[in-house]
Amino acid sequence: MLKKTPLNAVHKQARARMVDFGGWEMPVQYRGVIEEHLAVRNAAGLFDVSHMGEIKVSGPGALAFIQELATNDASTLENGQVQYSALCYPHGGVVDDVTLYRFDAEHYLFCVNASNTDKDFTWMEEVLADGDFPGVALHNVSDDFAQLALQGPAAEAILARITDTALTAIGYYRFYEGLVAGVPTIISRTGYTGEDGFELYFAADAAEEVWNALMEAGADDGLMPVGLGARDTLRLEMKYALYGHELSTEITPLEAGLGWITKLDKPSFVGREALLKLKEAGVPRRLVGFAMTEPGIPRADYPVFADGRQVGVVTSGTMSPSLRHGIGLALVETACAAIGTPLQIGIRARQVGAKVEKTPFVKK
């Protein structure tokens, strides 16, 4: 039985094509992936991301626990600030990539990948039990929240019509608790598209109300509902990692280009020793962005060659709706990771030309 978000009926009414995404029945497209993608780049798009998980960490020991659990340095967070971070296993592989919200010194919220929610919660309980963190409470509050992402250059203007919150005062990776269409909402200036925009968290039973209010507020700006298809092409153009592709239990954050959220100078966190060793020995493979130089579309798991030898594998690929040619991400031997390096992608029986490209692919 597939899980459903509170907006399931709304999507079906909008004639979205529904798919099984990690056990959730989700809209993959409404009118077409390319049209939806370009709406986000040029105007605005509204995504139902209620499948994402939310886990609350509270109590006097919350920060100490989070510092051990996650790779980034949560001690630098101020109230109302968001941080991108990762949870690692002791061997350095990734449990999940997450965003962390700080409400105050004793109240934090993790937003985690939908299909990892139960695994993450179990892992957090394990880390909590293994360490000495008195006064920490963990709550999986995923079912309490609906989450919408409003993304695109028109996002702020649209949201401003149905909130009194001074949106211009909310900086990138900052959030504010206000009202949206009269509904108490965490208004977070974050996203997964590379565009300006907001992620909105509010009570699950208000989902239809807020969705409809936003669609109405954005009608004149070309706001479109956007499915998971365009969510994937938008994040790929920005080289944002997707768990299960660029990150997994077998891929470390150092390989995936997430050294910037892996604070090895913190005294301790789960996975630190393994990652330090990996760094000292030299990270053997790197995540690169590449563009096709010949016709063809790269896809996950296609082999990557250089000088006739396999040097890696594609983790994600697509036709870029913005650039109109094939782009992809690949884990390749470090020697082949320099920008401009010629690669060949194994597409069916052929090796098709590509080269390592500067990322993000689309400059914002």
Partner 1 sequence: MEFPEDLKFTEEHEWVLVEHGMATVGITDFAQDALGDVVFVELPEVGTVLETGKSFGVVESVKAVSDVYAPVSGEVIEINEELPDTPELVNTSPYEDGWMLKIKLADNAELDDLMDADAYQAFVEEEG
- Residue number with CB closer to partner 1 (86 or 224): 224
* Residue 27 found at the interface with partner 1 (CB under 8 A): no
How far is it, in rounded angstroms, from Cα 154 to Cα 217? Answer: 11
- Residue number with CB closer to partner 1 (170 or 314): 314
- Residue number with CB closer to partner 1 (6 or 296): 296
CA distance from start to end of the chain: 40
- Residue number with CB closer to partner 1 (215 or 319): 319
How far is it, in rounded angstroms, from Cα 221 to Cα 286? Answer: 40
* Residue 344 found at the interface with partner 1 (CB under 8 A): no
Q: Which of 254, 232, 234 is nearest to 245 (CA)?
A: 232
How far is it, in rounded angstroms, from Cα 191 to Cα 218? Answer: 18
Kindly indicate which of the ranges 27-35, 116-124, 136-144, 170-178 contains the residues binding partner 1, using the contact rule CB under 8 A.
27-35
Q: Which of 97, 110, 49 is nearest to 243 (CA)?
A: 97
* Residue 297 found at the interface with partner 1 (CB under 8 A): yes
Q: DSSP letters along 68-136, please?
A: HHBSS-GGGPPTTEEEEEEEE-TTS-EEEEEEEEEEETTEEEEEE-GGGHHHHHHHHHHHHHHS---S-
- Say which residue the tokens 């094939």 belong to: 326
DSSP state of 78: P
Return the half-sphere exposure (C-beta side, CA atoms, 13 A cut-off) of residue 301. Answer: 2
Among 194, 296, 312, 328, binds partner 1 (CB under 8 A): 296
Closest distance of CB 163 from partner 1, Å: 33
Among 319, 341, 351, 353, binds partner 1 (CB under 8 A): 319
- Residue number with CB closer to partner 1 (37 or 285): 37
State the helix-helix crossing angle for 62-69 and 117-130, rounded to 10 degrees.
110
Return the amino acid letter for 289. G
* Residue 67 found at the interface with partner 1 (CB under 8 A): no
Closest distance of CB 143 from partner 1, Å: 29
One character per residue 212-251, x = contact with partner 1 (rule: CB under 8 A) = -----------------x--xx------------------
Among 26, 33, 181, 330, binds partner 1 (CB under 8 A): 33
One character per residue 169-208, x = contact with partner 1 (rule: CB under 8 A) = ----------------------------------------
Q: How many CB atoms lie within 10 A of CB 175?
A: 26
Q: Report the Cα 254 to chain-centroid distance in Å.
A: 17
Among 32, 131, 222, 244, binds partner 1 (CB under 8 A): 32
Among 8, 142, 318, 344, binds partner 1 (CB under 8 A): 318
Decide: 197 and 151 in contact? Cβ < 8 Å.
Answer: yes
Binding site for partner 1 (CB under 8 A): 17, 28-29, 32-34, 229, 232-233, 295-297, 299, 318-319, 321, 348
